Amino acid sequence: MGKLFGTDGVRGVANAQLTAEMAFKLGRAATAFFGKEHVRPVFYIGRDTRISGQMLEAALAAGICSAGGQAVLLGIVPTPAVAYLTRKHQGQAGVVISASHNPYPDNGIKFFAGTGYKLPDAVEDKLEELVLAEDDSMPRPTGENVGTITHHHDLIKEYIDYVVSTVNCRFDQLKIVVDCAQGAAYEIAPVALKRLGADVIVLHNQPTGTNINDGCGSTHLEKLQQAVKEHRADIGIAHDGDADRCLAVDETGAVVDGDQMMVICALNLMRHGKLKDNTLVTTVMSNIGLHQAIKKAGGKVLVTQVGDRYVLEGMLEKGYVLGGEQSGHIIFSDYSTTGDGVLTALQLINAVKESGKKVSALAGLMTRFPQMLVNIRVATKDGWQDNRQISEAIKAGENELGDEGRILVRPSGTEPLIRVMAEGPQLDHLEKIVKNIADVVKKEQG
């Protein structure tokens, strides 16, 4: 991991760790890098609703112009809209200014390649090297060669047209509640649903710059659950701050998580013969109930390590069309190069509409087994895999669970933590097993 780029771009508290100066340098570095192969490289830039977004957008665009690039400002749009529009209009890169589901003081800057996919690690490393260099030797053109800035929020219409075109049927007679998280979905999500004929009740679509994700959206489902029951809606949809994922609520107000959403969509694709090799791609964190539901339907599950980039790698390697995470970060590779919350919501509702069943009935096709997760702070993460005592504790837990559950032990990618997760039919049994393993990890690594 580099000094700047984490698992999802450069992140930090805006104007503290992530400063305007940093955004300016990132703009210069990206222009210098992509300018080697393209004269006046074009960057499509989108942001969420955070108050700091305009500051970082202005600094980033200034950096691009100072190195001779062209900045196309899309305004407030979802992350996947930036990926889509960059690819469609053949830009050299897309840039998203967002910290996703984090609180409003945080912000982030992440890049997409012109293909619409996230930048490879090697390119991020090169950008980092340019930003952190002691001497700035990057181009500083003058006169007519200085870069330009154009504003094109109107391109949002192209993205709406596109996501609406990916579904097969209209949503007439469906009442849908959508929680926009006071974030990047606030304009797009209601329009797309109404375009398809739904009766739409909209929550949290009045962003102020400081209320993004505040008690709303996919990390706070309580108000959505309440609204679905009050309005007797058929389904509720909740987005996160940058709208690259979503979760759902059924007509009874019960949560439908990313695993259940993937099962619903996978089974619908299987019925149409459109799920390649009848295979769904998901991470080690997906519930055992997902595996059972897919197996029962005659399908298979390809398991990757945690992270949407690993899900996407697994999908691209074999040409699989559906994959995602329990968090609701789901990728439909026939339509998108990254997780897309609005597109996912439309695909889910489309599957519900085609089935003729209620959301609760479809979600019930997967039994969601209880999960118990404990994070153990350790002095070192090194060597835990080879520790005999830890291995024996894990083995003892696995023997107790048998075929009815599983245990997953893994280190955190960013903190001095080892995570112990167990899954099975009875929560009290899981608590005992996890505690036993956690005690050994603490003793051996603490």
What are the residue numbers of the active site? Answer: 100
Contact (Cβ atoms closer than 8 angstroms) between residue 289 and residue 302 = no
Question: 47, 59, 156: which is closest to 96 by C-alpha?
Answer: 47
User: Cα dihedral angle (413, 414, 417, 420), rounded to 10 degrees?
Assistant: -40
- Quote the distance between the C-alpha of residue 431 and its chain's center: 29
Residues with Cβ within 8 Å of residue 6, at least 6 apart in sequence: 414
Angle, vertex CA 4, rays to CA 129 and CA 45, nearest 5: 90
**φ, ψ for residue 171, nearest 5 deg:** -105, 25
Question: 206, 203, 232, 231: which is closest to 218 by C-alpha?
Answer: 203
**φ, ψ for residue 9, nearest 5 deg:** 90, -160
Angle, vertex CA 109, rays to CA 105 and CA 110, nearest 5: 140
Contact (Cβ atoms closer than 8 angstroms) between residue 328 and residue 246 = yes
Sole residue written with tokens 């096709």 = 365
Question: 181, 200, 209: which is closest to 53 by C-alpha?
Answer: 209
| CB-facing half-sphere around the CA of 15: CA atoms within 13 A | 8
Give me the long-range contacts of 425-429 (CB less than 8 A, separation at least 24).
Answer: 425/369, 425/370, 426/370, 427/370, 427/372, 429/400, 429/401
| CB-facing half-sphere around the CA of 123: CA atoms within 13 A | 19
Question: 242, 248, 244, 219: which is closest to 332 by C-alpha?
Answer: 244
**Bridge partner list, 258:** none
